[in-house]
Amino acid sequence: MMMMIMAMKQYTFWILLILCISVASCSTIPSFRDPQIGINYGQYSSNLGGDTIIGINYGRYGSNLPPPESIPSLINSLSIKHIKTFDIDPRTTKSFSNTGITLSLCIPNNKIPSLSTNLTEAESIIRNNILPYHKTTLITTISVGNEVSLLPQFSTHLVSAMVNVHKSIKRYRLHKKIKVTTTHSLAILSKRFPPSTAKFHKSISESVLKPLIRFLQRTNSPLMVNVYPYLAYKQSYPSIPLDFALFNPNQRRRYKDPYSGIVYTNLFDVMLDSVDFAVKSLGLEKIPVVVSEIGWPSSGDFGEVAANMENARVFNQRLIEHLRRRVKKVPVYIFALFDEDQKTGAAVEKHWGLLYANGSRKYDLNLSPPI
């Protein structure tokens, strides 16, 4: 009887996972059996490329944050060598000069429409914000906008804007050193589960994402996607067990994709592989993926009991360990360096930092040896 009850709970978990993770229209639900770990266990469906790069996002919507000039020493104290920003501020770029820390920059969303039609403006941005610093600051990528793929006022201009920024980079022969891309929310997927059936929203799949990914492939640039297991867990509560979102160390929860045969023991892998399969659904070749944002909040609104300090520590520590074990690597940027108390919206938006505004750590996180 006990075994039957446990089996029913396991079955119910995966049925609810389908209903809650997937945002697609109804489809036939495959049968689930207790999966065995096969040769695909511990690997993504394809080689997402790159080394084990663990970086961090540097946002500045907080009061009393340290000045940009003091950020490199804080980054070094965390044994991190890669940082991603949400702007293209010369003061920040200059502060990372001769530090050995790589820098990913971002052109603001409101620049996209004009950049799409004005090559001169793109050249001006590169001339004023990149050329004076690239010899001493290790600039690796420029994101044209942030999470604009589903916003019509920007998405229709996005690829043209990226092309013009790339042309400007290439004019100064920096295109092999600095890649042009953009960051996406996982909301670009209309279907996420099972991962092997994932697809992009029809409204942008052919008109925006297909030419965008072709541009990235042509220029050897990564597809950058923000992946938040916490948000998927929260939106699907109580269907997804917390230990599945927190990289359950005992691996008691396992799911085998009925079509690909890949076994999953955590929500991160499920979400990440859905991006890879969605690209394949467009008939495109594999492309390196960078997780441009990922993390877990240390506090939230009343009732968000999973948003706490210990879960934030556990998630980020297990994420780091999980990434280092992977045979096929994926670079990630943890969100974020600081809590940002000036962010609007729900309380949880303000509590993703590894550090307080004074630079002290919120919790211990083992990032050594240096990445």
Residue linked to tokens 């670009």: 188
- Give the Cβ contact number of residue 23 at 10 Å: 13
- Give the Cβ contact number of residue 34 at 10 Å: 9
Measured between alpha carbons, how far is residue 151 from residues 156, 208, 307 in Å?
A: 8, 11, 29
Q: What CA–CA distance (Å, rounded) separates 191 from 201?
A: 8
Dihedral pair phi/psi, residue 244, rounded to 5°: -70, -35
Measured between alpha carbons, how far is residue 185 from residues 53, 86, 150, 246 in Å?
A: 20, 14, 9, 20
Catalytic residue (one of 121, 293, 340, 349) = 293
Q: Is 340 a catalytic residue?
A: no
Catalytic residue (one of 121, 147, 310, 349) = 147
CB 313 within 8 A of CB 365: yes
Measured between alpha carbons, how far is residue 293 from residues 108, 252, 309 in Å?
A: 17, 27, 19
Q: Is 293 a catalytic residue?
A: yes
Which amino acid is residue 248, in one-letter code? Answer: N
Q: In the chain, what is the greatest distance between 2 CA atoms, to the nearest angstrom?
A: 73
Could you give the residue numbers annotated as active site?
147, 293
